[in-house]
Amino acid sequence: MHDETIRMVDPRKVTADLVVLFFSTPDANRGYELASAFSEKGSQIVIGGLHATFMPEETSEYADAVMTGECENVWDELLQDAQNRSLKPRYTGTYADMSKLNPYPRHLITAEQYGWEWSVLVSRGCKHNCSFCLIPGMLGKTRYRPIPDIINEISEMETDWVELHADHLTEDREYALELFKALETLKIRWVGETTIRIADDPELLEAAARSGAKYLLIGIKTPSKAALKRAGKGFVKPENLKSQISNIHTHGIIVDTTAIFGFDEHTPEIFIETAKFYHDIGVDITAPAIAIPFPGSRFYKQLEEEDRLLSDNWGEFDGAHAVYQPKNMSCEELEAGAEEFSQHFYSMSRSASRKLRQIKDFGLATTLQIT
């Protein structure tokens, strides 16, 4: 098993009867490169994952078989077919039974390789339908693993830093409360992804903190109310964010959110406006990114219908390139704006005042670890 977020694979040094590649759109060029290299060596090639699910025709040009959707329910059949060298062109995955999932294979990949942070799956899917997101299309509405399975898996880990892997960790409040209660005895520190709504629920926030929550990735995206509404994130209210984030900080939890640029409501002023806004509301960690129109998303469809897509080079769908014509600025302004945002958010004076606030909220040791 190879994960190229850790180390690149050299196909010349790997021999395999069957190569199964999973990747999303920004990595599609690399995925196809590997598929071609292994195919030339005689391997059978299967491609699955987000890009294959939404671009199966294109993907099939590089693979003996394309696997769409979740892979668990077609995996045994696929392996059997590969053994007989009789792969079918398409394997259509269905939603997996969450009570039958295996833990991530620690005998093949180790926590040490991931900086001693380990990921444990909690749920798949999300009830929201944000215009730029593929989760609802790929995974549907939220499905949860049984809590005892999660607790058992964490108990066997060799690290106390855990990512509770869920697209929306606290969507089902009762489930989340039960999970947090069960986690308390394990004395772990965890990171997770949820929405800002957690800040309005003191009981849930308190339970999260007691169970070891240290860091929440929260989708705020932009201070533009109109852009949030159109993207399907109308539940994020910019006017409430300062007090909501303060509630989270009170529990010693760091807030990380990306700053997304390129919404149709954005003008060239948005970059500095967002930097000031994010600093003012108390965001601890952020990075700018241009909105990526992933094939399969409503955002991609809209741009396609409006004939505004400028690139089909998937390597440029990386959040750093303007791959579509922005509505109220040039592509150059959009690409340069991300840098402008960083300069203002991480300016000397803002960084210093943020550090002082973080020392009060989290203590010196934690603050020094926030980069």
**According to the binding rule CB under 6 A, does residue 163 interact with ligand SF4?**
no
Q: Scanning the structure block, which residue is given the tokens 């960083």?
A: 342
* Cα four-point dihedral sign 221, 222, 227, 228: positive
Q: Whole-angstrom Cα distance, residue 322 to residue 251?
A: 38
**According to the binding rule CB under 6 A, does residue 168 interact with ligand SF4?**
yes
**What does the per-residue mask of binding to ligand SF4 show for 190-209, with x meaning CB under 6 A?**
-----x--------------
Binder to ligand SF4 among 49, 219, 319, 326 (CB under 6 A)?
A: 219
Smallest gap from Cβ 288 to ligand SF4, in A, equals: 17
Among the residues of the chain, which ranges form H helices?
28-40, 50-54, 56-60, 72-83, 135-139, 147-155, 173-183, 202-210, 225-230, 241-250, 270-281, 298-305, 331-345, 348-362, 364-369
Binder to ligand SF4 among 28, 47, 55, 128 (CB under 6 A)?
A: 128
Q: Whole-angstrom Cα distance, residue 245 to residue 236?
A: 12
**According to the binding rule CB under 6 A, does residue 167 interact with ligand SF4?**
yes
Stretch that binds ligand SF4, among 98-106, 113-121, 124-132, 350-358 (CB under 6 A): 124-132
Nearest to 52 by CA among 42, 64, 60: 60
Binder to ligand SF4 among 130, 162, 183, 227 (CB under 6 A)?
A: 130
**What does the per-residue mask of binding to ligand SF4 show for 272-311, with x meaning CB under 6 A?**
----------------------------------------
Q: Is 35 exposed, middle or buried (0-12, 13-18, 19+ CB in 10 A)?
A: buried
Give whichever of 218 and 253 is closer to ligand SF4, judged by the CB atom.
218
- Residues 6+ positions from 371 with CB-CB distance below 8 Å: 285
* Residues that contact ligand SF4, how many (by CB under 6 A): 11
Give whichever of 87 and 227 is closer to ligand SF4, judged by the CB atom.
227
Smallest gap from Cβ 276 to ligand SF4, in A, equals: 24
Give whichever of 19 and 50 is closer to ligand SF4, judged by the CB atom.
50
Q: Whole-angstrom Cα distance, residue 210 to residue 188?
A: 10
**According to the binding rule CB under 6 A, does residue 129 interact with ligand SF4?**
yes
- CB of 293 within 8 A of CB of 359? no
Give whichever of 11 and 125 is closer to ligand SF4, judged by the CB atom.
125
- CB of 291 within 8 A of CB of 327? no
Contacts to ligand SF4 by CB under 6 A: 126, 128-130, 133, 135-136, 167-168, 195, 219
